[in-house]
Structure 1
Amino acid sequence: MTSPPPRSVRSFSDCFVKPPQLPPHSDHPLHLPPWDLAMLSVHYIQKGLLFPLPPRCLDPGFDRPAFIHSFLGKLKRSLSCALFHFYPLAGRLATLKRAEPPLYNVFVDCANSPGARFIHAALDMTVGDILSPTYVPVVVQSFFDHDRAINHDGHDLSLLSVQVTELADGIFIGLSMNHAVGDGTSFWLFFNSWSEIFQAQEKGAVDVVQLSRPPALTRWFPENHPGPLSLPYTDDPLSFLARYEAPELRERVFHFSADAIAGLKAEANQQCGTTNISSLQSLTALVWRCITRARHFPASQVTGCRMAANNRARLDPPLPPEYFGNSITPLRTAATVGELLSRGLGWAARLLHAAVAEHSNAKLREWNEEWIKRPQVYHLDKTFDQYSVMMGSSPRFNKYGNDFGLGKAVALRSGYANKFDGKVSAYPGHEGGRSIDLEICLPPATMAVLEADTEFMAAVTAS
């Protein structure tokens, strides 16, 4: 007897959404600073929320097609308003080429674009089918548009794509946003703003809603390099860029309660005789140690741990928290496997804390100056090696506060983008209260060893 074919997502409709109007200066090129241009070779950001349908939608006599039609209309209307405030997301990338010397200026063209993409799709699965397996089902990757696209593809692809996937008893809203246009802080500011507009329009607000936290769209450049900045392409831009295919990975979401994290923080600070090591630094130290142990590297092997650091408050003068663009740097800490595994949680956490404490305005400006002298882009296969762990995203982002008339989301999931051996993403726990969920990506054999690690699993809380 043959097994049934795997269920796949079916696309019902596909359109583009534009803002109701554009500001007068939107026809000017939006030039990109170094932190944006460095992202051209990595994938789009792909994050989304899973919502259960209201119980009435599951009643046999309920007119579900009419409900979905109305819901999609409300999403499109509020998305159009959101794009008024975040108008670069309705644009496309463009390149101005200079022949002598061969230099390319990549910018956002906000005036010549059909807008952001909006897709309605469906899948014959339930919310339980998505959440109950130990590992995130591969089908979740198809909840997102622009699969495997790199940010440079934004010359032809929309910079923002929304896919609404209808399940038997739920709805998944997945966003794919070009990472050269904004980072995780920018992504969730947009998601939160879209939700705020949706709720305001549900209460009878007009098409243009004033936001409680409007984005700051003016890009930051070093004072002596106001832009535009050029990239040293050859005749073929792809020679400067690179595409990345992930190896076979298992993806699992591990839950850590507030009490478990408080215990790790207390242990790390007690071992170091201090009080300044943070909860996230303590949790990251645990993950770094346990994944390294699961990999069975020799004691002399150097292993690294990177953390995505938000630079907005570290610049002098600081950028506003609502700065829309990229303002992140991966901070790297390194040690030999022998040192890391023999010296305890506090020792590793103190290394991470020192890297964060030393991340200053002077270092940020030095990074920008060096980049301008020798422009380069991040290549996932080179920037993040098999001996390292990378902690991305943040549990501080407001991810579960988004409401589109369906109540609170039951889970956050991500797409294929920017995943590799040792990629860890930190999300707020669903119940709040400083709990944290970690989405960990590892090869199957390494994941199995991590799941048998007593130090790691003792901190994991059943969700």
Structure 2
Amino acid sequence: MSSSETVKQISECFIKPKYKVHEANQPYYLAPMDLAMLCFHYIQKGLLFIKPSHFNNQEFSVNKHLQSLKESLSLTLVHFYPLAGRLATRINKNQHESLVYVDCNKGDGARFIYATLNMTVSEILSPKEVPVVVQSLFDHDRAINHDGHELPLLSVQVTELVDGVFIGCSMNHAIVDGTSYWHFWKLWSEIHRANNYKQLLVSRLPIHERWFPDGYGPIVQLPFTHPNEFVSRFETDQLKERIFHFSKVSIARIKAKANKESSNTCNNISSFQSLSALVWRSIVRANCLSEDQITSCRIASNNRHRLDPPLLPEYVGNCVTAIVTTTTAGELLGHNLGWAASLLHQSVVNHSDKTVHDFINGWLQSPFVYQPCKMFDPYSVMMGSSPRFDMYGNEFGLGKAVAVRSGYANKFVGKVTAYPGYEGGGSVDLEICLPPNSMRALESDEEFMTAATEYNRYGLIKKVSQRGM
């Protein structure tokens, strides 16, 4: 990476909630699925915008825009007040246990960074593979959630490009999952579009009341007295990252093919299950696995609507588990797409309120912290995030974002991150992480590349930039 491709930090400050929040005076306890996430990385996602020529009927000024982002962030933190605090731990040596929670008044608040990068939007989007410099558009590189004892639970980095602006958020994954993460973005965007406070109408306020099964909560102790007993860190070998685009038409074809080939006569295999089956088979082929090699496809599942009674979408915290489907490479590739999609579909159908409660009750009987370095193998696929998240609906006076990108966090062989396609309408972008040889093999996979389509990045950039002039 040349010096011209180096992100330079210009300034840093800390943002606290605009007003005092009474609830912030009390400890903010973490629920079981939150505590289990302490060794994962922070969530790192961001939006890339074309730099407009004007903002609020005036010539665009980065300094003024930064100030408006800070003011709206301060108001947003009134509603997401735990993110302005830090993690804290109380240790009970006699019982050999500890209580990890959020001290909402600890620390200086959320970090806000302004940086610059002497690259264009086209240079970020044009290469087939995601440039490594994208990882530098986020703070908290390689930080795990347990580091939130010392690091801010939220860090926003605004990077000014030659002709663009990238807003990247690093948020502690023990406080939020993907649903809560993008809820935060939506609220911040709404407050910013309302000029921070004038005529402010917030559509969905977050719900911070913790969820526990009947008879439990709101305090859970971990069976550890020192971080060395459960804290681990993980880094991946060299990976290639590439964004593959699937149009609405292409996904409809994949779904129709999966349902036609499956033994399921109801034709109710979903679009995402069908797409996941295609990706699973293609990555297994690209990795050249032996026929007897065990392989799994994990699909991140939002459990809020699966509970009975369901939790509202505004519930803040981790309410997600992985739906795991397992077979051998030989079985997976020896059958057709419909067979694989049927397996995934049945796993999703079986993931019920009882499944979630059984997991939580088991965890409460014997609490543990996930060890990512032991959870994921190089023979499987993990489908993370969701194309249902309204990522492109978040605007900050810069027009619609032209792309979503992520940082280094939580990536490993076979990690697939799903985003909505820029044009909407049910299109999907998949960010796939593979070793170099496997990525080359995937790019030569006829079944996969027939379904994946390329959109004209240059045309998109030109179109959007002209709109902002």
Q: TM-score range by the shorter chain?
A: over 0.9
Contact in 1 for aligned 2:4/2:118 (Cα 8 Å): no
More off after superposition, 453-462 vs 266-275: 266-275
Q: Paired residues, what number?
A: 451
- What is the alpha-carbon distance in structure 1 between the residues aligned to residue 128 and residue 259 of structure 2? 32
Q: Which residue of 1 aligns with 2:463?
A: none
Per-residue deviation, 1:22: 2.7
Quick one: which of 6, 9, 14 aligns to 2:7? 9
Aligned to 1:205: 198
Name the residue aligned to 1:406.
Answer: 398
Distance between the aligned counterparts of 1:406 and 1:340, measured in 2?
A: 45
Tell me the SS of whatever aligns to 1:223. coil
Offset at residue 380 of structure 1 (A): 1.7
Q: Which moved more, 1:225-234 or 1:125-134?
A: 225-234
- The CA distance in 1 between the partners of 2:21 and 2:121, in whole Å, is 41
- Where does the alignment leave 5 or more consecutive residues of structure 2 unmatched? 456-469
> Is residue 2:99 matched to residue 1:105?
yes
**Which of residues 212, 215, 227 is equivalent to 1:224?**
215
Deviation readout 1:258-287 (Å, 9 max, x if unpaired) = 000000000111112331100000000000
Secondary structure of 2:417's aligned partner:
strand
Q: Aligned runs of 1:148-187 on 2, under 5 Å?
A: 148-187=142-181
What does 1:16-415 align with in structure 2 at a 5 Å threshold? Answer: 16-55=14-53, 67-201=61-195, 205=198, 209-234=200-225, 236-272=226-262, 273-415=265-407
Given residue 152 of structure 2, which amino acid in structure 1 is its aligned partner? S
Q: CA deviation at 1:5?
A: 4.4
Relative distance call for 1:366 and 1:4 in structure 2 (3 A) is: closer
2:80 and 2:20 map into 1 onto residues whose CA distance is 10
> What amino acid maps onto 2:370 in structure 1?
Y
Matched-pair identity in %: 56
Instruction: Find runs of 4+ consecutive structure 1 residues off by over 6 angstroms.
Output: none
Structure 1 residue 56: Cα displacement: 5.4
Q: Deviations over 1:414-455 (max 9, x none)?
A: 000000000000100000010000000000010000000000
* Residues in 1 aligned to 2:21 and 2:198: alpha-carbon distance in whole angstroms: 20
How far off its partner does 1:374 sit? 1.7
Q: Deviations over 1:10-41 (max 9, x none)?
A: 11110000111232222111111110001000
User: Deviation digits for residues 385-419 of structure 1, max 9, x if unmatched?
Assistant: 11110000000000001110010000000000000
Deviation at 1:141, TM superposition (A): 0.4
Which amino acid is the alignment partner of residue 38 of structure 1?
A: A
Matched position secondary structure for 2:194: helix
| Counterpart contact for 2:233–2:373, Cα < 8 Å | no
The whole-number CA distance in structure 1 between the counterparts of 2:332 and 2:102 is 44
Cα deviation for residue 4 of structure 1 reads: 5.2
Q: Is the 8 A contact 2:15 2:109 kept in 1?
A: yes
* Helix, strand or coil at the partner of 1:367: helix
Deviates more, 1:130-139 or 1:22-31: 22-31
Query: Quick check: 2:4–2:119 contact (8 Å CA) kept in 1?
Result: no
Aligned-partner Cα distance in 1 for 2:372–2:238:
15
Tell me if the contact between 1:250 and 1:444 (Cα under 8 Å) persists in the aligned partners. Answer: yes
- Following TM superposition, by how much is the alpha carbon of 1:227 offset from its aligned partner in structure 2, in angstroms? 3.0
Instruction: Report if the CA contact (8 A) 1:52-1:170 is conserved.
Output: yes
User: SS of the residue aligned with 1:313?
Assistant: helix
> For residues 64-109 of structure 1, what are the alpha-carbon distances to aligned partners after superposition, in whole Å with 9 as ceiling and x for unaligned?
6xx1110000000000010001111111111011111221100011
8 Å Cα contact 2:37/2:369 also seen in 1: yes
- Cα distance in 2 for partners of 1:227, 1:81 equals 27
Structure 1, 104-113 or 275-284: larger mean CA deviation: 104-113
Q: Measure how far apart 1:6 and its partner are.
A: 5.9
Three-state SS of the structure 2 residue aligned to 1:114 is coil
Question: AA paired with 1:54?
Answer: P
In 2, the alpha carbon distance for the partners of 1:417 and 1:14 equals: 22
Supply the distance in 2 between the matched residues of 1:330 and 1:103 (Cα, whole angstroms). Answer: 27
Q: Does the 8 Å contact 1:22/1:87 carry over to 2?
A: no
The 2-side partners of 1:25 and 1:16 are apart by 21
Instruction: Judge conservation of contact 1:233–1:240 (CA < 8 Å) in 2.
Output: yes
Q: CA RMSD in A?
A: 1.4
- TM-score of the two chains, using structure 2 as the length reference: 0.94
Partner of 1:436: 428
SS at match of 2:5: coil
Distance 1:166 1:296 in 2: 42
Q: Which amino acid aligns with 2:158?
A: V
SS of 1:113's equivalent in the other structure is: coil
After superposition, the C-alpha distances for 1:291-336 in whole angstroms (9 at most, x for unaligned) are: 0011111111110000000000111111001111100001100011
- Listed as ranges, the gaps of 5+ residues in structure 1 are none
Q: Which moved more, 1:239-248 or 1:412-421?
A: 239-248
- Per the alignment, do residues 104 and 354 of structure 1 end up closer, same or farther by CA in structure 2, a change over 3 Å counting? same
Distance in 2 between residues matched to 1:355 and 1:399, nearest whole Å: 27
Q: Distance in 2 between matches of 1:43 and 1:24?
A: 30
> 2:446 matched to 1:454?
yes
Q: Which whole-Å CA distance do the structure 1 matches of 2:290 and 2:2 have between them?
A: 44
> Aligned equivalents of 1:22 and 1:418: distance in 2?
34
Residues 149-174 of structure 1, C-alpha deviations (whole Å, 9 max, x = no match): 00000000111110000000000000
Q: Confirm or deny: 8 A CA contact 1:195 1:403 kept in the other structure.
A: yes
Amino acid at match of 1:416: Y
Query: d(CA) in 1 for partners of 2:410 and 2:121?
Result: 25
Distance 1:390 1:4 in 2: 33
Q: Which amino acid aligns with 1:178?
A: N
CA contact (8 A) 2:113 2:157 kept: yes
